[in-house]
Amino acid sequence: IDFKELLFTDNDNLGETEFTQPAILLVSVIAHKLFSDKIGIKPTLTMGHSLGEFSALVASGALDAIDGVELVNLRGKLMAEACSKQEVGMLVSLGLSDEVVEQICAEQREAGMQVWAVNYNADGQIVIAGIKKDLEQLVDILKNAKARRAMLLNMSVASHCPLLQSATEPLVEKLQEMIKDEFIAPVVSNVTAKKYSTKAEALELLPEQLVSPVKYKQSIANIDDEVDCYIEFGQGNVLKGLNRKATKKPHFNVSDMASLEKTIEAIKELNE
């Protein structure tokens, strides 16, 4: 992949998941490397949201950065391939409880729809994946159930649901080759919302992650007592918004040189 062209010129490739995933991973890994080189603190644990779990594996020492780029490029290709024979998508529901959204999805699957709750981001914020025409119908069903908002997202794949089953097996071989038993810190699994720190666990959990919901808010709840703060690496600060709803611990983000310096100063103050 020519990252110089991909990241710094106008092109359509960045919208394709096989290119989006390595680009996001690379930017987050570079941000983490700059931070690590400037301040010598070892993470208590690492975690990420969806693709971010692979960035977390790099930060934990279990995956080399170059291997990580190749791995998520393959992951993106496999996901696109799995979704290529039908029009799929994702939507976000705001204002309904987990139980209500799960019940609605289950009822609609009984009626023949292919829709699944796939990202538990925060209380009242759940992402649903599935067949696009089913999701379009689901928007009105969710609104009738008093969702504050239900809208389709601009996504070319249906992440973390059974539609990606065909992508799991080809990923295993590459994981076997690239994941190392050299964790300097545990990684929090999106699948279980619990920590793991062995190659054997990674080989089991990462393929499963493709077809299982991301338990993000559950992960924060499980680890919150173990950490002093959260540091988000990479473009944007989406997780900062989610964490604001889930924890009272400070959250910093490193996305450019200014935020890097700001975060380092804040960490030093925390340690004083």
* Measured CA distances, 258 to 24, 122, 205, 254, 263 (Å): 19, 28, 36, 8, 9
Neighbours of 44 (CB within 10 A): 12
191 and 256 share a domain? yes
Task: State both tokens at 190.
Answer: 């999106």
DSSP 46: B
Q: Which of 139, 161, 183 is the last residue of a domain?
A: 161
39 and 156 share a domain? no
Mapped onto helix, strand or coil, the DSSP state of residue 126 is: strand
Question: Residue 13: what pLDDT?
Answer: 52
**Rounded to whole angstroms, how far apart are CA atoms 122 and 126?**
7
Number of domains in the chain: 2
Question: Residue 145: what pLDDT?
Answer: 97
171 and 254 share a domain? yes
173 and 260 share a domain? yes
Question: Residue 21: what pLDDT?
Answer: 82
* Residue 50 is a catalytic residue: yes
Q: Are 105 and 58 in contact (CB under 8 A)?
A: no
Would you give the end-to-end CA distance of the chain in angstroms? 43
- Catalytically annotated residue among 28, 93, 160, 189: 160
**Rounded to whole angstroms, how far apart are CA atoms 170 and 175?**
9
- Catalytically annotated residue among 50, 55, 60, 159: 50
pTM reported for the whole predicted model: 0.90
Residue ranges making up the domain that contains 141:
85-161
215 and 124 share a domain? no
Question: Residue 19: what pLDDT?
Answer: 60
What's the CATH code of the domain at 144?
A: 3.30.70.250
168 and 252 share a domain? yes
77 and 177 share a domain? yes
**Rounded to whole angstroms, how far apart are CA atoms 28 and 25?**
5
Q: Which of 128, 161, 194 is the last residue of a domain?
A: 161
What's the CATH code of the domain at 227?
A: 3.40.366.10
22 and 136 share a domain? no
60 and 184 share a domain? yes
206 and 246 share a domain? yes
pLDDT in tens, the chain (272 residues): 555 555 555 665 545 555 678 888 999 999 999 999 998 888 899 999 999 999 999 999 999 999 999 999 999 999 999 999 999 999 999 999 999 999 999 999 999 999 999 999 999 999 999 999 999 999 999 999 999 999 999 988 999 999 999 999 999 999 999 999 999 999 999 999 999 999 999 999 999 999 999 999 999 999 999 999 999 999 877 888 899 889 999 999 999 999 999 999 999 888 77
* Measured CA distances, 43 to 46, 132, 228 (Å): 7, 40, 10
Mapped onto helix, strand or coil, the DSSP state of residue 198 is: coil
* Residue 160 is a catalytic residue: yes
Q: Which of 161, 187, 204 is the last residue of a domain?
A: 161
- Give backbone dihedrals phi and psi of 40, rounded to 5 degrees, phi first: -90, 65
157 and 180 share a domain? no
142 and 169 share a domain? no
